[in-house]
Chains A and B, each alone.
Chain A
Amino acid sequence: MKQTDPVVRFEHISMQFPGVLANDDISLDIMPGEVFALIGENGAGKSTLMNILYGIHAPTSGQVWIKGRRVEEFDPRNVIEQGVGMVHQHFMLVPSFTVAQNIVMSKEPRKHRIFFDNAAAETAVRKLEEDYGLTVPESVPVEDISVGMQQRVEILKALYRGAEILILDEPTAVLTPQETEELFTVIRGIVREKGMTVIIITHKLDEVMAISDRVGVMRKGKLVGIHETVDVNQQILASLMVGRPVLFDELERTGEAGELALTVEKLRVRDHRGLEAVRDLSLEVRAGEILGIAAIEGNGQSELIEAITGLMPVQSGRVTVLGKDVTGQDPGEIREAGLAHVPEDRLATGLSGAATVAENLLVGKQREKRFNRWGFHQDQTAVRAYAEEVYGRYDIRGAGVEALAGDMSGGNMQKVVIAREFSFDSPVLIISQPTRGVDVGAIEFIHSRIMEKRNQGAAILLSSADLDEVFRLSDRILTIYEGQATGCFRAGEITKEEIGLYMTGSKRLGGKEA
């Protein structure tokens, strides 16, 4: 094999954001003409690393070399000139501009030096289309074309700017399978024929196998492994991606599953973009059991939970809580029916960072008599006393109940959310990502609390990106792939390696009922 110089070299890159070390001493070489896949869970630091390469962020420490030259100034303009192009996860397109206008932005062809030459722009785009075999409707506004088409526009934009190294940030997250296949054909084409280098960020393992030459795995800001794609398989990658080094003791389980508490029948949900995210999914949870959802990020589990809890509209199907049909009701009514919810994103949905810890603990109970004298007066002493009690009981550590929730650490914020939601003593609990971004000590505490709830007879639906967590807590595990249930297993009946096949859709059980 011929020894070549790397086209991109990261040397000991670290990136510190307020409160998070997003990249932790990463060193990596990207070779010319390869497709390099960078995988990891959400928040593992993949996008941060690529944003550094693209010059959007300057690293806290470390150096980046592009084609043998050290990057002195982290600025997109500078990096674009060196031949780096990036297709962002959220497209960087101006919706009201036409395709051609978006592609030529910042390097517009001009008439008489000051006028925008639309005809020349469209000609230039057409030439690019021919060169790379990618067709787009040049003169249609971007807001009127499909997402897959918009992505082509993004790729063409990078090519127009002379990119030789193309970064694709989760390019398939918004694509249909057909569009994904087309994208891969394009990638193979530009790599083979034009000698380009492609870095692709993803968490879809089948795609890694399909497209990449090498794969790097990131976890919690660290690069934990680089492999030739031919040397690995999806199961190995999955365990690298989600594996957690600390092993916990077995949790004590008591009691048997009882009455049916939560049922979901043939649910269909569309996501924010109007695409079908949950397709004909059914599940059942009984009192005193935990049903864990095992799915790779972005396969509809978030939408499923938001639809059950009333945060998202249901297209069709039925949700029943304790025998009461709550389909399409608002979150308040569904809570009334006996459901509490620990949401996946605590800062956006789970609490108010601008309110105090005490206030966040109170929410939902504020109308109870003991806090609400004469129907309007808030009894601050009672609130404080209650908050202090919960604060202690849930081992929350911070600057006290009068401190702002937004100033706390992730783990303690999560404890606040869990303390509040558990305190309703609702028979049905929906728990999403209970320990994301939470330190090890707090994880153990949260896990034991969840198990305690189960043993007391709560019906719990748990969704987590951490497979170890799902295995540790669940009585039964439901796998979801592309919005559909692919299997349902008793805990202990299946191994992590085997379940990976169901999570990636390569295996399915006949009956989709869970």
Chain B
Amino acid sequence: MRQKINTKYLISLLVSIFLAFLVGAVILLGTGHSPLTAYGAMVEGAFSSLRHVGDVLEYAMVLAICGLACDLGSRVGIFNVGGEGQLLIGAIVAAQIGVSLNGTTAWLVIPLAALGAIVSAGLYAMIPGVLKVKLKVNEVITTIMLNTVAASLCQFMAKGPWKSANKTMVSATENLNVRYWFDGLIPGSNLSTAIFAAAIIAFLVWYIMQKTTQGFEMKLTGQNPRFARFSGMRIDRKIIVCMVISGAMCGLVGMFRVYGSEHLFKPSVSNDYYFEGLMVAMIARYQPLATILLSLFFAVLKVGAEGLQQVGVPNQIYLIIQTVVIFFMAAQSGFLECLSVRLQKRKAAGADAHSGSAPREKGGEKV
């Protein structure tokens, strides 16, 4: 799973993307749309106005930080699927801090909100981390469960104790005071100054993972935990710390969504954004730089898809194309392996029909 980025990877990525667009084209044709018009509208949708470019950047930020959070966990061999819940928790805590401290200076509110998001989401991520390290409870399952728990808890808070006085909002917190909003960078778009903070975080994560001693130790822990322990590293602590940081990053994304674009908490501050970020990270093979670049690509796709409505095509074609890329990328190595085994078999059968005995697959059953 954690393979290197190389030419083979780039080629299969390009081929996968191409094939995905081809699949998309078939579906478009099947439903009576012209693929050329549709894809043209997508490009236009993403780049036609500054506002759209701003939305692209904002969404790329969300995907990238979520993806990097996933990268960080996978580096030490833990799979954080709970980012969605951590994001929501961070978002609602940050929002409520802003609401309850209304009137105080932004210099106090914003750091406190960020801190609140980091701490609450980090602690929430710590639960599956500790369970994994101490009891070997599968973190994928626990984080999935905790996602739903977090979503329900946030719903509860937003409908109950922290509910907005505004009757038209069923489940949302009070609006933030305008003083606390992150400044918009492009009028009308979601892009705010949060992107600078996100850029710093992205740089830090990249730097830590690729350039520091700690990142080096994390990598070894994920690659071969037994070896890491053998050479004297405290792997349990590393795994928990990474999980907490991963959660904290997701929490910050939640805060950015609230202070940057939504200006209040409502459940739709995230619409499975973490899962999309996680898929980006998977396609990027958990490499930070590739995660950031692919986030940009998928953000273009997503925002561009909004433009499809102009030509009467449902924008969900974007999800189809995105997931088909993932299917191709995930199946790619297994597919090539099957292909080469088959070729070998044919070669063996052709060359030596007498003692023709191609190597059978051995072991490797997944449990």
Contact = CB atoms under 8 A, between A and B. Distances in A.
Interface of A: 56-63, 74, 309, 311, 330-333, 335-336, 341, 343, 348-355, 359, 362-364, 366-367, 371-372, 375-378, 380
Instruction: List the 7 closest A-B pairs by CB distance, nearest first.
Output: A332-B232, A58-B357, A352-B224, A352-B223, A354-B223, A372-B213, A376-B212
B18 interface: no
A502 B158 CA distance: 76
B271 interface: no
A376 B230 contact: no
B71 to A, nearest CB: 16
Contacts of A332: 231-234
Given A58-B357, A354-B2, A377 B211 contact: yes
B360 A331 contact: no
Contact of B220 (A62, A348, A359): A359
Interface centre among A56, A355, A371, by most chain B C-beta atoms within 10 angstroms, is A355
A496 B63 CA distance: 67
A367 B220 contact: no
B227 A352 contact: yes
B183 interface: no
B44 interface: no
Contacts of B211: 377-378, 380
Contacts of A336: 232
A336 B231 CA distance: 11
Dominant secondary structure at the A interface: loop
Nearest to A59: B357
A378 B212 contact: yes
Contact of B360 (A74, A330, A343, A348): A74
A90 B228 CA distance: 27
B230 A366 contact: no
Interface centre among A61, A353, A366, by most chain B C-beta atoms within 10 angstroms, is A366
A353 B232 CA distance: 18
Contact of A341 (B216, B219, B230): B230
B227 A351 contact: yes
Contact of B358 (A58, A349, A364): A58
B134 interface: no
B214 interface: yes
B53 to A, nearest CB: 35
B229 A311 contact: yes
A122 B215 CA distance: 57
Interface in B200-239: 211-217, 219-220, 223-224, 226-234
A510 to B, nearest CB: 37
A355 B223 contact: yes
Nearest to B229: A331
A56 B362 contact: yes
B30 interface: no
B224 A376 contact: no
B312 interface: no
A359 B230 contact: no
A142 B325 CA distance: 45
B49 interface: no
B227 A331 contact: no
B355 interface: yes
A371 B217 CA distance: 13
Contacts of A380: 211
B161 interface: no
A58 B360 CA distance: 7
B80 to A, nearest CB: 21
Nearest to A367: B213
B251 to A, nearest CB: 23
A59 B360 CA distance: 10
Contacts of A349: 226-227, 230
B362 A57 contact: yes
A491 to B, nearest CB: 30
Contacts of A353: 223-224
B355 A61 contact: yes
Contacts of A366: 213, 216-217
B165 to A, nearest CB: 48
A294 to B, nearest CB: 25
A336 B216 CA distance: 20
A380 to B, nearest CB: 8
Contacts of A371: 213
7 contacts: A57-B359, A59-B357, A330-B234, A343-B230, A353-B223, A354-B223, A377-B211
B220 A355 contact: yes
Given A367-B213, A371-B213, A355 B219 contact: yes
Contacts of B227: 348-352, 363
Contacts of A376: 212-214
Nearest to A368: B213
A332 B220 CA distance: 15
A364 B223 contact: no
A58 B361 CA distance: 10
Contact of A378 (B213, B223, B226, B357): B213
Contacts of A352: 220, 223-224, 227-228
B359 to A, nearest CB: 7
Interface in B70-113: none
A372 B231 CA distance: 17
Given A348-B226, A354-B224, A371-B213, A58 B359 contact: yes
A84 B355 CA distance: 22
A348 B229 CA distance: 12
Given A331-B232, A343-B230, A354-B224, A60 B213 contact: no
Interface centre among A58, A311, A343, A359, by most chain B C-beta atoms within 10 angstroms, is A58
A74 B357 contact: yes
A312 to B, nearest CB: 11
A354 B77 CA distance: 13
